[in-house]
Chain A
Amino acid sequence: MSAFFRVAALVVRKDLTVEVRSLEVVSTTLFFAVTVVLIFAFGFVKEGVPMDGVAAAILWITVAFSGTLALGRTFERERQADTLRALMLAPADRPALYAGKLVGMLLLMALVELILVPLVGLLFQAPIFRAPLRLAGLLAAGTLGFAAIGTLFAAMLVRARSRDVLLPVLLYPMTVPVMIAGVRGTAALFQPQPDAGMAQFWFALLVFFDVVFVTLALWTFEPLMTD
């Protein structure tokens, strides 16, 4: 078991070093996220006033879009010098490699969300500080569910043709429950009379989703990655 965490930590550290040096994925993803929010603003701000209840939806859709972009870039990087094959060749536990890539993605998306949430709060007058812990919980659980499926799919698509198009095509229908739960839960916190019970329900659903799909991904990574 300690070997599992050792390998996962090794992969995370490697990914972080690479990213800190180039800042490629962080900077492009952040810029993209900000752009998406602004484009939404043109659709959903009327007469200078944002429409009711759109903030939660914009937040989550932007998370999904920029997450897809980051996933694509992260694995394109492992493909360039064929290093994903080098990782698969190592005698390390393969699910540990998956776990490492997943944690790297989560850190990246957390960083993006750290900028994104205040931005949405600012531009769409969303009360992000009303229940900060609940909001953080929803974001964490939702991002984990999205990234767990996304990391697996992006990894397996590395050797497929048309991988750039296929990633969102496969990922979005599969993560619909995350989107619904994330948007509804967040909207319950943002509405004039916040509904903590509702937010709690969606949070629980997300946690359940995470448990099922992280387990399933760890379990299927090995057979999916061997050709």
Chain B
Amino acid sequence: MSDFDTVSADGVGRHYGRRRALTNISFTARAGDIVGLLGHNGAGKSTLLSILGTLLAASTGVVRYGGLTSDAAGASLRARIGMLGHDLFLYPELSARENLVFFGRLYDMPEAARAADAALERAGLAARADDLVSSFSRGMRQRVALERALLHGPRLLLLDEPFTGLDQASAAALVGRLREEQARGVVTVLATHDLDVVDGLLNEVVFLQGGKRVAAPASAGTLRDRYREAMHAS
């Protein structure tokens, strides 16, 4: 098993021809860290998540997962990564349980069905397990999608806008869920706009503007104030 307890980006950049999506991003996250990627739309948050998830190759720099890199490790590394994309990665024509069981089997889990039931229980959707995902509200889909990403017990959890469309109670539940995973030593990297919700949850913040990391302001204040300051300073 290719496990790791740190994830570090070292000068990671990605460009398409002349268009730069991401420039020289570096950070290190250890087991139990929750890293926030903050920035406007198009700042490169999703690109960075795709690179961390090995779906996209970096044009410059390298991502290290413990002692491994993405080209060296391949499938065994992907087995340790869980990702929740902006588009949720669920088949709307399948039920919540079928989605989870399908992905569980794809990850070669011996007891995929039981794991799926437990995940639905955690998501508070056991009663609607056999309803099609297309009949779910955005919040419910989001919960299933998160459990899908966590199903195989990943070491690295990547979340793209996990709070979008969640009401206050569901957002609080999601924060609680992330803290549970944090206690289990999962490295979480999440991109979000919901600054008030994640205030106090993040161990490290990466402010992104135009694909570049901008310095975090020294002042202590709410995350929203610091975000505003960081975006204005540059």
Which residues does A use to contact B, with CB under 8 Å?
Answer: 3, 6-7, 10, 14, 17-18, 21-22, 80-83, 85-93, 226-227
| Chain B positions within 8 Å of A10 at CB level | 102, 105-106
Q: Which residue of B lies closest to A82 (CB)?
A: B87
Which residues does B use to contact A, with CB under 8 Å?
Answer: 53-57, 75-76, 78-79, 81, 83, 85-94, 98, 102-103, 105-108, 132
Listed residue (B79, B81, B87) with the most chain A CB atoms within 10 angstroms of its CB = B87
Q: Which residue of B lies closest to A86 (CB)?
A: B89
Query: When A10-B102, A226-B57, A227-B56 are in contact, do A90 and B78 touch as well, CB less than 8 Å?
Result: yes
**Closest CB in chain B relative to A10 CB, distance in Å:** 5
Provide 15 A-B residue pairs closer than 8 Å at the C-beta atoms, listed in order of the A residue: A3-B108, A7-B106, A10-B102, A14-B91, A17-B98, A18-B93, A81-B88, A82-B85, A82-B88, A87-B106, A89-B83, A91-B79, A91-B107, A226-B57, A227-B56
**Closest CB in chain B relative to A176 CB, distance in Å:** 33
Query: When A10-B105, A90-B106, A92-B75 are in contact, do A18 and B87 touch as well, CB less than 8 Å?
Result: no
The one of A3, A18, A88, A92 in contact with B91, judged by C-beta atoms closer than 8 angstroms, is A18
In angstroms, Cα B53 to Cα A17, docked, is 28
| Chain A positions within 8 Å of B83 at CB level | 86, 89
Query: When A17-B98, A93-B75 are in contact, do A81 and B91 touch as well, CB less than 8 Å?
Result: yes
Q: Say whether A91 contacts B93, CB under 8 Å.
A: no
Q: Say whether A22 contacts B79, CB under 8 Å.
A: no
Q: Which residue of A lies closest to B160 (CB)?
A: A82
| Chain A positions within 8 Å of B103 at CB level | 86, 90
In angstroms, Cα B91 to Cα A100, docked, is 16
Q: Say whether B106 contacts A85, CB under 8 Å.
A: no
Q: Which residue of B lies closest to A226 (CB)?
A: B57
Q: Say whether A14 contacts B108, CB under 8 Å.
A: no
| Chain B positions within 8 Å of A89 at CB level | 53-55, 78, 81, 83
| Chain A positions within 8 Å of B106 at CB level | 7, 10, 87, 90, 92
Listed residue (A7, A22, A85) with the most chain B CB atoms within 10 angstroms of its CB = A85
